[in-house]
Homo-oligomer: A and B are copies of this chain.
Amino acid sequence: MSSRLPVIVQGLGPIGRLIVEAALGDPALKVVGAVEIDPDLAGRPLAEVVEGAPRVAIRESVAQAREDARAGGGILLHCTGSHLDRVAPQIEEALRQKLHVVSTCEELTFPHVRHAEIAADLDRLARSAGRTVVATGVNPGFLMDALPASLASISHGITSVSVRRVQDPSRRRVPFQQKVGMGLSPAEWEARRSAGGFGHVGLEESARLLAASLGWTLGDWRHEMVPCRIDGQEQVAGTLETLEGSTADGRSICLHFEANAGADEEFDEIVVDGRPPLTLRFEGGVFGDDATAAAVLRAARVVPNTRRGLVTVLDLPLR
């Protein structure tokens, strides 16, 4: 490896820390800074938070971290939130600092519909800075969009693509359990659902990414959310969310995301109805946190070889 790409990690929650850890073992990358506004972390040495990290202080702003590092042509690994309207100013700051941005922001994986104006602004800013912005992760960013898009490249005349992701939340972090309503009473679950408190951020973005890759225009949307129940148990075991979109001539994309403590097994499955038909399954599923950290590092490695502007995972080359 000739020279390592300098990276700054912004957001030191569980995923951000995993990203720092993983980046320390990546021969193509070099951690040169970290940013976090949490007053318990800001100002402390990064090595106190992640073992083996270099001797840099955690800064409150990207500009400060950039100044410490004095590294040219770096990349911001950005993992501070799911909602684009809240994190867009951070990404803009990074672009003004002439950094590429690889973000885990779910809504940024395909922002051209829900946040068309922010997307256009980021694209303009990135192009004029000569930098690339991309959001990735395992879901959205891979299992329900980039991977089925890749599979679809070996089947033609495709009429439907469906993806099923089944996870057992009792084996995941508590915030994930809460996000899917595990342990709530049915009435509490329903109250939270009505208030819009559930829902996997990124399901619609995945469907739109996959449709873009297939050249499909999805119109007829169907979105369902139901509580998962276990026989004889009062508490809800999780949530099953289904998003389906169809083209005018009846081709469809169906995404099925089940977080269910009563699931018999964890798995991810993709079925492509085309010629040839394809059924692909990850036995035991894919552990999301590690996979998201890996996806961010991979995007960082190839960002220099990607076109400038706001791009999607569909634009990332494989090296």
Interface string of A270-290 (1 = CB under 8 A from B): 000011101111111011001
Identify the stretch in A23-31, A163-171, A185-193 within 8 Å (CB) of chain B at 4 or more residues: A23-31
Choose among B154, B287, B313, B317 the residue that contacts A315 (Cβ–Cβ < 8 A).
B317
Q: A276-B291, A290-B275, A294-B275 are in contact. Are A319 and B153 (CB under 8 A)?
A: no
Choose among B25, B28, B215, B299 the residue that contacts A157 (Cβ–Cβ < 8 A).
B25
Report which residue of A28, A152, A156, A287 has the largest number of chain B beta carbons within 10 angstroms of its beta carbon: A156
The residue on B at minimum CB distance from A136 is B153
The residue on B at minimum CB distance from A280 is B282
The answer to whether B215 and A28 touch across the interface, beta carbons within 8 angstroms, is yes
Q: Is A178 an interface residue (CB 8 A)?
A: no
Identical subunits present = 2
Q: A1-B215, A150-B318 are in contact. Are A282 and B284 (CB under 8 A)?
A: no
The answer to whether B318 and A290 touch across the interface, beta carbons within 8 angstroms, is no
**Chain A contact residue count (CB 8 A cutoff):** 51
Interface string of A135-176 (1 = CB under 8 A from B): 000100010001101111111110000000000000000000
The answer to whether B319 and A154 touch across the interface, beta carbons within 8 angstroms, is no
Choose among B274, B281, B314 the residue that contacts A281 (Cβ–Cβ < 8 A).
B281
What residues of chain B lie closer than 8 Å to A133, measured between beta carbons?
Answer: none
Q: A154-B295, A295-B154, A319-B212 are in contact. Are A279 and B282 (CB under 8 A)?
A: yes
Q: Is A61 an interface residue (CB 8 A)?
A: no
Q: What are 11 of the A-B contact pairs (CB < 8 Å)?
A: A22-B156, A138-B154, A150-B150, A153-B298, A154-B298, A156-B290, A212-B319, A274-B294, A276-B290, A278-B282, A279-B283
Given contacts A25-B157, A150-B150, A153-B298, 16 further A-B contacts (CB under 8 A): A1-B215, A22-B156, A25-B156, A26-B156, A146-B150, A147-B151, A149-B319, A154-B292, A155-B294, A213-B318, A275-B294, A278-B282, A279-B282, A279-B283, A314-B317, A315-B318
